[in-house]
Structure 1
């Protein structure tokens, strides 16, 4: 087989694997942080590649109304776009009222604090110094799910109950691993059925043992594609993904793009590149499909 024929076969294999993909972590705009595409751009690109669903995430606002309007305006697109709410200062912090409103409007996911998380603020002063920031933003008020005695706050417990009743996803945001163990254990006790750690090995600070412990109670690990491909967000070589898959297991591993930021590939192109890396590293096509399609589809109740 000629090199051009081999390339065509590989490109076709990647294209086939993207059909049905679910991106739970896309940063399209409009946003106060500069983005390279907006929600409509991402919807069109994902639809063209055959994606089943995309979840757009903004650190400062609930994106669900945008998704609802886009579906009305673009009835010919088959891809589904969803969103949720991040519990940063802009949403009132760990705010049960905001979560209740989001859930009733159809949000699919609640992210715990990201840029406002006390852990995020501490980490960006040390190992994550290059993390993107909003120019001229007000100083963040540090947030934690724990009170001064190390117990989950009353508002956190109320939020967990709302998430459980709505059967939507509880995501870690940028809380630290120590907080997450307490949060997820209580969430499980309160009936939360879908739990997710975002980029566990970056900012969140999960060790292999942290990952194994959380997986043992039903938490899924979502790794960010941007961290394994060339561009502004790269943190690890692609080979590290193999280790992370082995630690949590294919059934407990998802790959979301975490793309849309300037200086990096668009989300769909990021998926193409990363799936190519996984194939080159010998990951079975069926396992890739599980991690980029099946697992995310189940989290969104689409399977």
Structure 2
């Protein structure tokens, strides 16, 4: 099978949509949904660094039947950071995924040389803040999925440990091979994260000229080392300079095939694992 066939039934859990208050986006939520449905995809998650996207899905579902649409919220400064009240309200309206801080994480702020402290999950002694545990309890209560966003590797390990203690079982470590944002995780660290029950999400955006220019073979190597059973392929597309998310997924699948990843492994990483991390039937 080629990429268009393998795309059918896939779920992209990482798509950026317009409107965006700080930058132009390649697609609106409506365009992303229409294009994904036309490609035969099963579903997409809409992401913003600045606002909760769940209400958009309520508007779109009657307009674009035949595809599953999910919303999420990133715990950045715009929603009050590590804000349990915002997480509870998100849970009450059926939000599917909660990301830890992204562009306003301390890790990102320091990496980009931006003025300000940024948001850390840890106190000065290296322990998780009480708000984080409260947020994890809400994620469990409202049956949501936890994603790590752009936090540091030490924060990721502390978060995964506490999440398991609280009973959160659907976990995603976002783009561990990226160097321009978040923090890069070694293969051994990725294996440990997978052993903690997390899916390792590899995003195609890292290979783009406008991003990290990561050789795609590095993603293939990480998949082989960690195992396709513990990995998810997402685009993280929506940037103006990149192809549309749907075209990005087609390119990604074809590129991974070229790098030696098997069709069965592709199916696992674009269909089965994304469904499982969202609590959906395979």
- Quickly name the TM-score band, shorter chain normalised: over 0.9
Which residue is 1:184 aligned to? 160
How do residues 219-258 of structure 1 correspond to structure 2 at under 5 angstroms?
A: 219-228=198-207, 230-258=208-236
For residue 293 of structure 1, give the secondary structure of its aligned residue in structure 2: helix
Which residue is 1:135 aligned to? none
How do residues 60-79 of structure 1 correspond to structure 2 at under 5 angstroms?
A: 60-74=50-64, 77-79=65-67
Q: Which runs of 5+ in 2 are unaligned?
A: none
**1:22 and 1:296 in contact (8 A); partners too:** yes
CA distance in 2, matches of 1:122, 1:274: 30
**1:116 and 1:140 in contact (8 A); partners too:** no
Q: Cα gap change, 1:49/1:140 in structure 2, threshold over 3 Å: closer, same or farther?
A: farther
**1:115 and 1:140 in contact (8 A); partners too:** no
Cα shift readout 1:39-62 (whole Å, capped 9, x = no counterpart): 000000000001101001000100
Q: Could you state the TM-score of these two structures normalised by the residue count of structure 2?
A: 0.94
- Whether 2:38 is the aligned partner of 1:48: answer yes
CA distance in 2, matches of 1:62, 1:153: 23
C-alpha displacement of 1:233: 2.7
Q: Which runs of 5+ in 1 are unaligned?
A: 1-11, 130-138
C-alpha displacement of 1:282: 2.2
For residue 34 of structure 1, give the secondary structure of its aligned residue in structure 2: coil
The correspondence for 1:28, drawn from 14, 17, 28, is 17
Which residue is 2:101 aligned to? 113
- Whether 2:4 is the aligned partner of 1:15: answer yes
C-alpha displacement of 1:168: 1.4
CA distance in 2, matches of 1:210, 1:156: 22
CA distance in 2, matches of 1:61, 1:71: 19
**2:109 and 2:117 in contact (8 A); partners too:** no
Q: Cα gap change, 1:98/1:141 in structure 2, threshold over 3 Å: closer, same or farther?
A: farther
Which residue is 2:256 aligned to? 278
Cα shift readout 1:248-284 (whole Å, capped 9, x = no counterpart): 2101100111000011111110111111111122221
- The count of aligned residue pairs is 277
Cα shift readout 1:91-130 (whole Å, capped 9, x = no counterpart): 10100000000011111100000011000111223xxx9x
CA distance in 2, matches of 1:92, 1:259: 25
Which residue is 1:301 aligned to? 279
CA distance in 1, matches of 2:213, 2:166: 35
C-alpha displacement of 1:72: 2.3
C-alpha displacement of 1:247: 2.4
Please report the RMSD computed on the Cα atoms of aligned residues, expressed in angstroms: 1.4
Larger radius of gyration: 1
